[in-house]
């Protein structure tokens, strides 16, 4: 017997420690519900389980992806349902217009509705979105690098947006009627019946007070010296006519204001020297007008230009045939160019007569020549904000160029965030792009033509792994792609783009309306085909979701068998280990008593 080492106690202690460790693991598994709580529990099982978990979570997300795809398809199909309704109405109208019981005015009314319905198809194509993804206007790459928030700038084809931005006129239009002595010296028989034609209305002088021979004319009742003999008589006649004519015009044409002014004729010299100061009537419009509005108001008379002249109110030496308005407003018009991305090599931005070309190789520069300005901005490796700073610098250089003045219509500019804010005080003179008074804006996106009108291609991740995708495309469904978009003349076909100015012609004749029926039928077929494709995709995705759910369920079951605790078996194991622990504790107590037997030997 040995006293220094109690081997039995050590043995009991070792078994107790092992049993306690087993009980601890049993409790951990029972409390967590997991058989594998750490890699040491089952290294191989953990690796297999984690791979299964990645598949399970991938399948869950794929199921959500498929549901999102169905939601997007339902959104798209809902929009096309409305397009179908529009097309059916258009076909109904075309059939109505094809009937020869209608007059031209009836077909014009039908055409007006066709035009609006066509534009609504474009609006649906351009605004139907799912999570901000536009569905029916083609590839998003077909957008310009910058967009103007002015309706005056629109798409004109070939990847180009352009327009003329003008300010709202803040002054009325005017014309000066200049009456010379020759008119004032006409006798009563000659002046009676003479006419003025102003803004489409004819004013006839009634100097004898015996009424007008033409009842469609407006009477200008004037007191006239029958046989004027000197300068005073001419002045009197002119001044009487100025007052009578102004009163007649203001009373019969609301276009003109009562603030129209009279400058009376005067004789500042001898009564017989044959020289007087001409009398003038300045007609002023009641509302503010731009030059293009003023140009619609014509003025003429039956007098010779040695008797009466119509003069430009700013340049009184220039004779005119229409009213004149100032080409500059008192208040400026502001609008913004919002940049969606930095311009690319080959993109162009034209502001007034300044053309900015963007390059990835040529150094930045500005040159003025012959009233024009050209600039190059190097965009290689630059952020949008750096490019905007350079555009701002170029505009500053162009404004400072007092010799060529390429941006005369540009009154102010600034950069705010990703936008370029421009202002102009020029009013509309009716000029076309390239020769207008207003601020001309042109945006040329160099790669737009390569992408516009393409179908929107989509890839849906409908599985847990890289290659498990479903690809499909959404066709362009704007009016041009359906063959319905026309320019304002109703005959020029627009082939692509959300840019319909009018709808298909149904107003010219019954034959034209009948031809439109066939075109609309083809548009209905295209929309039906697209809706059928979307419906088939939705049905496929519903089966995909069912399959994903089944795979998810089966894989989860397999992962559970590896990772989860069998609670019944673990409880039985816990009970066993708990009893063994208690027994080990008892045996440890007994083994600790064994050395006391040595004392009996020592007593003897």
Same domain, 107 and 130: yes
Sorting pLDDT into bands at 50, 70 and 90, what band is 144?
confident
How much of the chain exceeds pLDDT 70, in percent?
A: 97
Nearest Cα to Cα of residue 98 among 82, 114, 83: 114
Sheet-wide strand order for 365-369:
153-157, 160-165, 439-444, 348-351, 354-359, 372-378, 365-369
Distance CA 125, CA 79 (A): 8
Q: What is the pLDDT of residue 89?
A: 96
Give the three-state DSSP class for 252: helix
Same domain, 273 and 401: no
Whether residue 2 is contained in a domain is answered as: yes
Show Cβ contacts of residue 261 under 8 Å, excluding neighbours closer than 6 positions. 281, 282, 284
> Full-prediction pTM beyond 0.85?
no
Whether residue 130 is contained in a domain is answered as: yes
For the ranges 252-261, 444-453, 515-524, which has the lowest average pLDDT?
Answer: 444-453
Same domain, 101 and 163: no
Range of 108's domain? 66-139+454-549
Same domain, 218 and 291: yes
Domain boundary among 311, 339, 355: 311
Same domain, 294 and 187: yes
Whether residue 554 is contained in a domain is answered as: no
Same domain, 382 and 471: no
Whether residue 461 is contained in a domain is answered as: yes
Domain boundary among 255, 278, 311: 311
Same domain, 522 and 582: no
More confident residue, 507 or 136: 507
Domain boundary among 426, 451, 476: 451
Q: What is the pLDDT of residue 516?
A: 95
- DSSP assignments along 351-377, one per residue: ETTEEEEEESSSPPEEEEETTEEEEEE
Question: How high does pLDDT run on average in the chain?
Answer: 91
Same domain, 394 and 492: no
**Number of folded domains in the chain?**
4
Give the three-state DSSP class for 179: strand
Sorting pLDDT into bands at 50, 70 and 90, what band is 452?
low
Detail the DSSP E strand segments found in 259-364. Answer: 261-263, 279-288, 299-301, 308-311, 328-339, 348-351, 354-359
What tens digit of pLDDT does each residue of 292-347 get? 999 999 999 999 999 999 999 999 999 999 999 999 999 999 999 999 889 999 99
Q: Mind spelling out the 3-state secondary structure of 435-480?
A: CCCCEEEEEECCCHHHHCCCCEEEEEECCCCCCCEEEEEECCCCCC
Whether residue 91 is contained in a domain is answered as: yes
What tens digit of pLDDT does each residue of 466-489 get? 889 999 989 889 898 899 999 899
Same domain, 117 and 154: no
Distance CA 561, CA 98 (A): 74
Whether residue 56 is contained in a domain is answered as: no
| CATH code of the domain containing 110 | 1.20.1330.10
Same domain, 420 and 533: no
Q: What is the pLDDT of residue 92?
A: 96
Q: Is the pLDDT of residue 158 over 80?
A: no
Whether residue 41 is contained in a domain is answered as: no
Same domain, 154 and 180: no
Whether residue 123 is contained in a domain is answered as: yes
What tens digit of pLDDT does each residue of 347-362 get? 999 999 999 999 998 8
Same domain, 226 and 158: no
């Amino acid at each position: 017997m040995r006293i220094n080492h109690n081997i039995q106690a050590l043995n009991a202690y070792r078994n107790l420690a092992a049993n306690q460790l087993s009980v601890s693991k049993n409790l951990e598994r029972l409390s967590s519900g997991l058989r594998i709580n750490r890699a040491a529990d089952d290294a191989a099982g953990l690796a297999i389980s984690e791979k299964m978990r990645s598949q399970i979570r991938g399948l869950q997300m794929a199921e959500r992806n498929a549901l999102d795809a169905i939601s997007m398809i339902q959104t798209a199909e809902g929009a096309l349902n409305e397009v179908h309704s529009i097309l059916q109405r258009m076909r109904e109208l075309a059939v109505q217009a094809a009937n020869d019981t209608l007059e031209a005015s009836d077909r014009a009314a039908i055409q007006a509705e066709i035009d609006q319905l066509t534009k609504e198809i474009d609006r649906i194509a351009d605004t139907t979105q799912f999570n901000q993804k536009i569905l029916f206007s083609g590839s998003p790459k077909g957008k310009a690098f910058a967009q103007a928030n002015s309706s005056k700038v629109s798409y004109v084809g070939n990847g180009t947006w352009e327009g003329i931005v003008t300010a709202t006129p803040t002054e009325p239009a005017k014309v000066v009627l200049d009456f010379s002595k020759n008119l004032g010296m006409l006798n009563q028989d000659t002046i009676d019946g003479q006419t003025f034609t102003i803004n489409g209305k004819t004013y006839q002088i009634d100097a004898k007070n015996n009424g007008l021979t033409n009842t469609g004319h407006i009477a200008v009742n004037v007191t006239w010296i029958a046989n004027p003999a000197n300068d005073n008589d001419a002045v009197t006649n002119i001044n009487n006519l100025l007052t009578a004519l102004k009163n007649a015009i203001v009373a019969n044409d609301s276009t003109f204001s009562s603030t129209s002014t009279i400058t009376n004729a005067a004789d500042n010299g001898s009564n017989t020297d044959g020289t007087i100061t001409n009398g003038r009537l300045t007609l002023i419009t009641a509302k503010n007008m731009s030059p293009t509005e003023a140009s619609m108001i014509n003025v003429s008379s039956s007098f010779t230009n040695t008797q009466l002249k119509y003069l430009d109110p700013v340049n009184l030496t220039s004779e005119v045939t229409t009213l004149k308005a100032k080409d500059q407003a008192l208040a400026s018009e502001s609008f913004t160019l919002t940049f969606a991305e930095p311009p690319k090599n080959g993109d162009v931005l034209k502001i007034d007569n300044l053309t900015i070309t963007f390059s990835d190789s040529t150094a930045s520069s500005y040159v003025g020549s012959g009233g024009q300005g050209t600039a190059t901005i190097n965009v290689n490796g630059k952020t949008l904000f750096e490019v905007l700073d350079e555009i701002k610098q170029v505009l500053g250089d162009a404004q400072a160029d007092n010799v060529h003045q390429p941006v005369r219509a540009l009154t102010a500019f600034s950069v705010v965030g990703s936008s370029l804010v421009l202002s102009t005080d020029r009013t509309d003179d009716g000029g076309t792009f390239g020769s207008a008074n207003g601020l001309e804006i042109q945006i040329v996106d160099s790669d737009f033509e390569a992408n516009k009108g393409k179908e929107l291609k989509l890839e849906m991740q409908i599985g847990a792994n890289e290659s498990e995708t479903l690809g499909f495309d959404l066709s362009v469904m704007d009016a041009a792609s359906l063959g319905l978009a026309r320019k304002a003349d109703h005959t020029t076909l627009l082939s692509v783009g959300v840019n319909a100015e009018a709808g298909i012609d149904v107003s010219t004749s019954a034959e034209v309306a009948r031809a439109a029926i066939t075109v609309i039928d083809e548009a209905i077929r295209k929309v039906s085909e697209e809706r059928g494709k979307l419906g088939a995709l939705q049905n496929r995705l519903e089966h995909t979701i069912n399959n994903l759910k089944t795979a998810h369920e089966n894989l989860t079951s397999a992962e559970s068998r590896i990772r989860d605790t069998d609670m019944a078996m673990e409880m039985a194991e816990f009970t066993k280990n708990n009893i063994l622990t208690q027994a080990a504790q008892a045996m440890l107590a007994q083994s600790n008593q064994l050395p006391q037997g040595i004392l009996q030997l020592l007593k003897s």
